[in-house]
A and B are shown apart, each in its own frame.
Chain A
Amino acid sequence: MLNQTSKRLFLENLRERLGFQTRVDQTRFEHTSWGPVDGPSWPRGIFQKGLHEIVAANGSHHPAALAFGLLAAHATADHRPLLVVSLDHNDQDNGRLYGAGLAALGIDPMLVFEAKTRTEKDLLWTVEEGVSCAGLAAVIAVLDRKERLYGFTASRRIKLRQEKTGIPVFLARHAHGDATAASTRSLIMARPSEGILVPSNHLPLLSAPRAALQLVRHLGSPPQTWEIAFDASNGLRMVAEVQNGPFAASAGAIENAA
């Protein structure tokens, strides 16, 4: 029979394994004002330098978080290589990067290098080393479980290194966590795309995948939300239409998402 502490630890571990979002994150997503999508308000150049945290709505939206990091990094890469750093604990949970799939996303797989580390300490060391390398375009790091070392101090160290080379870092995080020295923090979740109706098909065909990106933290600007699309030809782009109603529906969808 488990005592209360053991039970709590067991449930936390189970949630972590199944990728459930914490109660705190759900509250934030629900209560944030989504507002209309605004094309001109996309902050140009915001992701060209600095440390950017991307938090998936929950574990099942991790692909959207990673894809956004890759595409945002690739947008300014100018044929320079990207370094993707992740923990070597379990590729089976979230999948491994697939070269042919990167090509279908519009990213040249020959420009993507991966580093797998056994510990979070090695991961942060690798990010710092990558940020210090002038030849890289960007570093994309994945922390897909509860962080033990990453926090204000580690983020500050990364930013100090970045100031010399200007290389951006995109960190896909497990959950919000405490305040860090990151330049921006965004929440992301996949959104239904526009289906292409074909009379002979039982189901609509797929168009460019979409996601809702909520910039929750950026110095000097209030939280904003956009609906973005990933397109192999055009990379990352903003969807122009106003989507107030569906956003309200999607807030409920986040709460119920597994």
Chain B
Amino acid sequence: MSESADGPAPSPDQSIRSLNEQLADASLRSSSRILILILLAMNKKSTATELRTLTGLGKGSMENHLEKLESAGYVRTKNVKSFGGWRQTVEITQAGLDKCRELLRNIRALNV
């Protein structure tokens, strides 16, 4: 059973074009949102608190970023009751996962 890097690598020209198209999307034109998306791609699910700890963002800032990612359909947030009160869970969607993979594939193809 063997798994390797995702799909054939696009050419550098295709990658630059694709990267520019992706970054034309306002929801991805933020280093914090890209960082959040990649972290969620590796963990699938997290909490807003954990993401704030990892990224160093403030509560308001994180809410703003999550709202933008959710509007774009890349994540899904939910408020759940836990022992310590309410907490916000954040889960990456398939669209978010695909977007993240595409972004990283473009970076790999450009060989920076």
- A and B part of one assembly: no
Q: Which residues of B are at the interface with A, using a C-beta cutoff of 8 A?
A: none
